[in-house]
Amino acid sequence: MMAGTRRTLAGSDPSPSPRRGVSARIGGVSALAVTALIVLTGCFGSDAPQQADDGGDFADDGCTNVVVATSSEKVNMLDALADAFKESPQHKALDTCATVHPINVSSGDATRYLTSGEDWPDENTRRWPTLWSPASTVWTDRVAAAASPSLVGEPESFTHTPVVFGVPETMAKALGWPSAEIGISDFANLCADPAGWGSVGKSLWGSFKISKTNPNTSTTGLSAILMQSYEASGKSADLTTDDVAAAADFSRLFEECVIHYGDTTGKVLKRLYDQTQKGSNGSGYVSAIAIEETSLLNYNQGNPDSHTVQPGEKLTAPKEKLVAIYPAGGSMWSDNPITVLGADWVTDAQREAGLAFAAFLKTEAAQKILPDYGFRPLDDSVPLGKLFTEKYGVDPAQPAVSLPKPDVDVVSAAIDQWTQIRKPSSVLEVIDISGSMDEPIGDGRSKLDGAIEGAQTTLGHFRRSDEVGVWAFTTGLDSGPGGNIATLRDIAPLGSDLESLQSSLDDLRFSNRQGTPLYDAIAAAYDEMKQRAEPGRINAIVVLSDGQDTDSQMSLDSLITKIGKASREGGDAAPVRIFPIAYGEGADTTALQRIAEATGGQWFDASDPAKIDLVFASVINNF
């Protein structure tokens, strides 16, 4: 089970305490390289490294401070490895003691930070990483190609986990699990069949629904699109850019089953877990989720979002487990490298300690720790232990076929293709412009300034063919559907309207701002979107609000009843999901979370309003 709890959250936010007065820029990153990265990774990440409110583990303990930036599913494990390192020969050989601190940073975000040419985005320089451990060397390859090979040093894998499709056990059995071989083509056929689950005798389950993450920020999302190309080509090695191009139609069909995208699988798994625990079957929400095996193991132990487990925290297993479908055509592996960064903020002492920790991870003592956290050791002589069994939904003998990582140009071609063939979106953004939006957020901007700039920045994510509409709401407005709503743009294909829409958003700074009819505005937006929602699109409403509802005629319970009708078992062919952003400390997070859950959407925490642009980016990654 989930062994080894953490002392405190690794991503705590100590007050700023500059470590040294030298420039902390990353060396060797040219403007051309940054431009190349934008082509490779896009502009959208989730958030800056996690932060809390005290010094915690990051207080100076007299030892060399070594931070490891890593994806969330490895934080618990790396903390246990950091403790074991203290007792290792590698640590004892150092001239000065060293303390290793893992922090949670997604692989895609770290890629973006490392190639930006800017400081690491954390005010506390003690939290800037010496080591980087993304989920895959795909990310280190991309940084090396877009910036400088010296920036990522010499990454070496220390553990690995295959990419699988997590399917609720009851649904997997309907597909013939565990005896039948199930491939990505089988999922694609279920997607293409109008009968959906009815094609295997389960018509009550509705359409077949897939969850995938955005390949610009997520390793599993990136691996999934490469696995689709492998499947379409019939290959198990030597994937080429021509193969990717030839797979476009197959991948487009597969994408049509996606409910929505996102930064991490954790949010989708948490939604599924919550539904299951409340007694409602998750089949109305999602049928298969592209995830790493380790995330599936975490889910089945009661940690769906792979969060940092705190001392004394009790985990409750889901009422129905997920089982791992290892695609018959093969799985890619997340090879989890670790490397000492070639950034100029890394001191000689930190580099020495970082190399020692990386060497320790290859030892038998370290490799024996990995299986307790759901990761497979590289050392085949190390037993996998009790987690890697059917009880927890996995098969230690799988995958039967391992798909190699393609060349970086093939990876780039697959991402470029995904931006063109991903599921189309129809999104209505609904922005609160009540009086409280005038409050400052500490960087010379008001809340409204931050909301406008966040919305403007993320509009570039949409394709010309995606439908985009923007409403604003407060009391005292006479125009718009239902009153108290201003229509900045009707829902329509974005086309060439990007600049004019950005200008319209600027106009909000001069708008009338009074009360907050939040529920009425959401109800009107839902009615509008339901009338025009189409199968084959991601139909969504993004709501930004910084306060409590003060002026609606509709109650929260009535709103939940209204918007939740289509979320019953099986759902409908064109669901409208709501993605609220709780903006600032005054936002009604409880109400916004209920609204999201009623429609199968997700809510986002922007309690630190200065980070609204990053939160907006995280939301838009779903589309």
* pLDDT score recorded for residue 451: 84
* pLDDT score recorded for residue 51: 41
Q: 605-617 pLDDT, tens per residue?
A: 887 776 777 787 7
* pLDDT score recorded for residue 482: 66
Is the Cβ–Cβ distance between 565 and 603 less than 8 Å?
Answer: no
* pLDDT score recorded for residue 38: 30
* pLDDT score recorded for residue 281: 53
Is the Cβ–Cβ distance between 233 and 246 less than 8 Å?
Answer: yes
Q: What is the mean pLDDT of residues 222-248?
A: 96
d(CA 611, CA 10): 20
Q: 351-371 pLDDT, tens per residue?
A: 999 999 999 999 999 999 999
d(CA 162, CA 117): 32
Q: Report how far Cα 154 is from the mean position of its chain's Cα atoms.
A: 26
Between 238-252, 270-284, 450-464, 531-545, the lowest mean confidence (pLDDT) is in 270-284
Q: 435-449 pLDDT, tens per residue?
A: 888 888 777 788 888
Is the Cβ–Cβ distance between 267 and 190 less than 8 Å?
Answer: no
Q: Report how far Cα 566 is from the mean position of its chain's Cα atoms.
A: 25
Q: Which of 553, 545, 550, 562 is nearest to 607 (CA)?
A: 545
Q: 189-218 pLDDT, tens per residue?
A: 999 898 999 999 998 888 899 989 888 878
Q: What is the mean pLDDT of residues 126-135?
A: 95
Q: Which helix (H) or strand (E) holds 16?
A: none
Q: 296-327 pLDDT, tens per residue?
A: 999 999 999 888 778 888 999 999 999 999 99
* pLDDT score recorded for residue 16: 30
What sections of 323-439 are H helices per DSSP? Answer: 348-360, 364-367, 408-421
* pLDDT score recorded for residue 42: 33
Most confident listed range (80-89, 100-109, 268-277): 80-89
* pLDDT score recorded for residue 12: 32
118 pLDDT tier (thresholds 50, 70, 90): confident
* pLDDT score recorded for residue 64: 96
17 pLDDT tier (thresholds 50, 70, 90): very low
Higher-confidence residue of 39 and 288: namely 288
* pLDDT score recorded for residue 34: 31
- Strand duo 64-70 + 331-334: pairing: unpaired
Q: 175-195 pLDDT, tens per residue?
A: 999 999 999 999 999 998 989
- Whether 492 has a pLDDT exceeding 60, the answer reads yes
d(CA 536, CA 121): 38
Q: What is the mean pLDDT of residues 66-93?
A: 94
* pLDDT score recorded for residue 156: 96
Q: Mean pLDDT, the chain, as a whole number?
A: 84
The structure tokens 């690794």 sit at 10
Q: What is the mean pLDDT of residues 277-304?
A: 85
- Whether 575 has a pLDDT exceeding 90, the answer reads no
Q: What percent of the chain has pLDDT over 90?
A: 46
Residue 514, burial from CB neighbour count under 10 angstroms (0-12, 13-18, 19+): middle
* pLDDT score recorded for residue 437: 84
Q: 143-152 pLDDT, tens per residue?
A: 998 888 999 9
Report DSSP state, residue 451: H
* pLDDT score recorded for residue 30: 35
Question: SS3 for 253-320, per residue?
Answer: HHHCCECCCCCCHHHHHHHHHHHHHCCCCHHHCCCEEEEEHHHHHHHHCCCCCCCCCCCCCCCCCCCC
The structure tokens 């506390």 sit at 124
Q: Concatenated DSSP letters for 135-185?
A: S-HHHHHHHHHHT-GGGG---EE-EEEEEEEEEEHHHHHHTTTTTS---HH
